[in-house]
Amino acid sequence: MMRKAILATGLAAALIGGAAMAQQKVDSDSQKFLTNAMEGDYAEIDVGKLAQEKGTSQAVKDFGAKLVQDHSANLQKAKQLASQLGVKDPGGASVSQKANYLKLKVLSGNTFDSTFAKDMVSDHQSDIKEFQEESGKGDQVAQFAKDTLPTLQQHLQMAQSLQQQTTGSK
């Protein structure tokens, strides 16, 4: 009887220890990167929906739909990783991203299209740089960054093409 109690206690301790180890940790920079990545996904989803609603050209509307689709999928991956690592989901875009959304929301017509395209080029150039830096590390967040880079690079190419169409410049 005593032996069963000791075994049960040992098994319980092993299970508790295993559950604690299941939530792996990464450095604070990687945690911050993951939080920022989720905020970015939320922002791109919001701006993509806005482009579908306010875009004048079909290309702007189509790119908006692509942003919503790809960043929604990426957000789900980011949330899953964040959950595994004990990183809190920010639940939405950052304050500066919300301000950018509001700036776009008051625009209309060709001004909206060209400003949206310009902002998406700038945003994706910045994102790619951050994701490349993070991908050089050796943890799960680095792998997430590596896996996300091709989509961001595709978005940058699309945004550059859109910028050329809407403003005649690159």
pLDDT digits (tens, 9 = 90+) for 115-153: 999 999 999 999 999 999 999 998 999 999 999 999 999
- Sign of CA pseudo-dihedral 39, 45, 49, 54: positive
How many domains does the chain contain in total? 1
Q: Is the pLDDT of residue 12 over 90?
A: no
Give a yes or no: residue 115 inside a domain.
yes
Give a yes or no: residue 2 inside a domain.
no
Give a yes or no: residue 108 inside a domain.
yes
Give a yes or no: residue 9 inside a domain.
no
CATH number (domain holding residue 147): 1.20.1260.10
Give a yes or no: residue 10 inside a domain.
no
Give a yes or no: residue 4 inside a domain.
no
Rounded to whole angstroms, how far apart are CA atoms 47 and 62?
Answer: 12
Rounded to whole angstroms, how far apart are CA atoms 101 and 115?
Answer: 11
Give a yes or no: residue 6 inside a domain.
no
Buried b (16+ CB within 10 A) or exposed e, 154-165: ebbebbbebbee
Under the banding of pLDDT at 50, 70 and 90, the label for residue 108 is very high
Domain range for 125: 26-167
Give a yes or no: residue 12 inside a domain.
no
